Amino acid sequence: MTGSSGRSVALVTGASRGIGRGIARRLAEAGYDLTVSARDPARLEEAAGQLAVAGGRVHPVAADLAVEKDICRLAEEHTEHHGRLDVLVLGAGVGFSAPLAETSKRRYDLQFDVNVRAPFVLLQAVLPLLRETAAAHPDRGAKIIALASITGVAAEPALAAYGATKAALISLCQSVNAEASADGVSATAICPGYVDTDMTAWVRDRIEPHRMIRVQDVAELAFSVTRLSAHAVVPELVVTRPGEQVWRA
């Protein structure tokens, strides 16, 4: 282990773009040291360089979260470089749009591998470090923030498999709270509708970007959760776009 700076530390997956990058930036600005992960090494290095401008230590780990050995390596490298974990952000995800009857098994499996299995395996690997950090900082504890989706709460046409993975992720957060919140480790699933990122480019023909949720809105919600004491557990936060139909992506 390379010795801790005494600063709070976060591990953020999916940190090279979109919401994950937005949350990583917000944490860096607040004084966190970071481990950041994404599949594309070049894009990850570019993001890490920008995040380091805030002055903290940023350790990039390129990893394909569909591969279990990559997940384990990510957990090991984070522990080796930082030795503590105040905030785990489960930001990596993949989604495909197709009617339920036309969803291929390959795409179904990939979404469950990245959106459900990977967070489960990573949580198993780092939960001891989260508990250790929470015990050392009992007032604040340690936080897990999972980027779920409103589709895990309210169904959206053509997103059956994706919504099912996000419902499973929400349930996983609830299980963490049932098993670990008494030890100071709590989990919050943030469940937004369409956010203006490249992941929602496929829907821009019917929803213009300026009508979507902003990345900074989700990042600010995530950061607010990190500021709560260990005595407050927020299982989920649903964020919808304005309009007459509230429960919509």
* Domains of the chain with bracketed CATH: 9-239 (3.40.50.720)
- Determine which one of 69, 105, 108, 162 is catalytic: 162
What mean pLDDT is reported for the chain? 94
Confidence of residue 181 (pLDDT cuts 50, 70, 90): very high
Is residue 4 over pLDDT 70?
no
Residue 194 is a catalytic residue:
no
Has residue 3 got a pLDDT over 50? Answer: no
Residues 6+ apart with CB under 8 A from 2: 80, 81, 82, 83
Q: Are 198 and 20 in contact (CB under 8 A)?
A: no
Give 180's pLDDT tier (boundaries 50, 70, 90): very high
> Alpha helix locations (H) across the chain?
18-29, 41-51, 68-82, 105-112, 118-136, 160-180, 215-226
Helix 118-136 with 68-82: angle, nearest 10 deg: 20
The pLDDT value given to residue 5: 64
Q: Are 89 and 63 in contact (CB under 8 A)?
A: no
Rounded to whole angstroms, the Cα distance separating 246 from 142 reads 32
pLDDT at site 247: 79
Q: Is 105 a catalytic residue?
A: no
Predicted confidence at residue 2, as pLDDT, reads 43
Catalytic residue among 32, 143, 166, 194: 166
Q: What SS3 class is residue 12?
A: strand
Q: How confident is the model at residue 243 (pLDDT cuts 50, 70, 90)?
A: confident
pLDDT for 137 beyond 90: yes
Output DSSP code: residue 116: I
What does the pLDDT read at residue 208? 80
Task: Work out the average pLDDT over 155-180.
Answer: 97
What pLDDT band is residue 67 in, cutting at 50, 70 and 90? very high
How sure is the predictor about 139, in pLDDT bands with cuts at 50, 70 and 90? Answer: very high
Residue reference for tokens 């936060």 = 237
Q: Is 199 helix (H, G, I), strand (E, B) or coil?
A: helix
Which two tokens mark 209?
């970007």
